[in-house]
Amino acid sequence: MHTDTQQARLTPLLTGWMAAACGLAVASIYYAQPLLPAMAVEFHLDTAGAGGIVTVAQIGYALGLFLIVPLGDLLERRRLIAALSALTALGLLICALSTSTTVFLLGTLMSGLCSAVAQILVPFAATLADPARRGKAVGTVMSGLLLGILLARTAAGLLASLSGWRTIYWVGFAVLMLMTVVLARQLPRYRLSAGLTYPGLLLSVLNLLAGERRLQLRASLGMAAFGAFSVFWTSLAFLLSAPPYTMSSASIGLFGLVGAVGAASSSLTGRLADKGHGSRATTLALAGLVLSWLPLAFAGHSLWALLLGVLLLDWVVQAVHVSNQNAIYRLAATAHNRLNAAYMTCNFIGMAGGSLLSAWAFGAAGWGGVVAAGAAVSVAGFAIWAAARRFDVAPRLAED
């Protein structure tokens, strides 16, 4: 292990920088979503081709989760994080300068792949944090990540309305390069090698998922929570663009601000975990996930019901996520990044599945179908947790 001992303590300022870096990195995946119509016009794409831009970003992120995140258990983390942050910014610059679909997709793939740096920062915060405050630290950094996801759409829509769709890519490049400099100066040097080759490191990710029952449980809960999250957000634009709302793209993007309020409260879950109530926090969050679909069932004709549902849904999804990460980081101190790679890859599968389910449900039965699908996924998550507690599937479950 190689550590800069004078800087290894996780201060509130450093936690804030890491949270901001997570948000800026992961936001690069979502900038395109409200801009697809304008991109389709400029690059002469049909609807399916424009939608492929988002797919390429998601594929890049998925590859990064599996291929890059485990490197945090092999390489010196400050250099790795700074390099990946700079490469994410470079991907955004390529997008801003692109004059063809091919070049734009190359930049999108590059930024998506390297934005997985966010999932190296989260376990790094857990590693540096005092064990008694680890849950709070993880919750704070994860708040930054989820705020990046939610606010990226809002920022992209607003800047596009002012000066064109490329503006968010220029701004994202500049801000992320500044953040790279901050990270290179503020993060401590830290290396805790797993003693494996790179192929062995990737194989160990699969072995951890196959052998750790608590990781399997928490990955299943993450798939359900983020699946439900994706079911809602994928079809929200369809709901709001149609009567009785008939909102513009910029107005729809503002709903990211509503979700951000709920997401920002996730540090409360981390504090519960620090006090030994992680299992109880998980139970409450999964119950809230099911209940969040009650107000959303009336969202087709009630804006207040929609706002309440968004707040509750984003809050409890983040609460489940923070509880999950706090639990898996207790499994092996030398494998935080590989544990996170396995867990987050499963989350991504849940999100991708939720998107597909949402599109099918809306096409088949409108908003009512979306609510039914989201509620079913949420109930499945609660049932998995209840069964695990009943049959003691995961050892020491009460200590999670």
The predicted structure's pLDDT at residue 400 = 57
The predicted structure's pLDDT at residue 262 = 62
Q: What's the Rg (C-alpha) of the chain?
A: 20
The rounded mean pLDDT for the chain is 85
The predicted structure's pLDDT at residue 7 = 46
Tokens for 15, please give them.
Answer: 């936690």
Q: Which residues pair with 190 in a beta bridge?
A: 3
> At 111, is the pLDDT very low, low, confident or very high (cuts 50, 70, 90)?
very high
The predicted structure's pLDDT at residue 273 = 61
Backbone φ and ψ for 212, nearest 5 degrees, come out as -100, 110
Tokens for 326, please give them.
Answer: 């706090």
Kindly report, residue by residue over 293-345, the tens digit of the pLDDT: 999 999 999 999 999 999 899 889 988 988 898 888 888 767 778 888 899 88
Domains and CATH numbers, the chain: 1-193 (1.20.1250.20), 205-400 (1.20.1250.20)
Work out the percent of the chain whose per-residue pLDDT is above 90: 42
Q: What pTM was computed for the model?
A: 0.77
Euclidean distance between CA atoms 391 and 393, whole angstroms: 5
Distances (CA, A) of 127 to 118, 196, 213, 271: 14, 19, 22, 17
Residues with Cβ within 8 Å of residue 112, at least 6 apart in sequence: 28, 29, 56, 57, 58, 59, 60, 61, 63, 64, 91
Kindly report, residue by residue over 66-104, the tens digit of the pLDDT: 899 999 888 999 999 999 999 999 999 999 999 999 999
- Indicate the burial class of 9 (C-beta count within 10 angstroms; 0-12, 13-18, 19 or more): exposed
The 3-state DSSP class for residue 44 equals coil
Q: Where are the beta strands (DSSP E) in the chain?
A: 2-3, 190-191
CB 123 within 8 A of CB 329: yes
Q: Taking Cα atoms as reference points, which of 77, 158, 162, 179 lies closest to residue 123?
A: 77
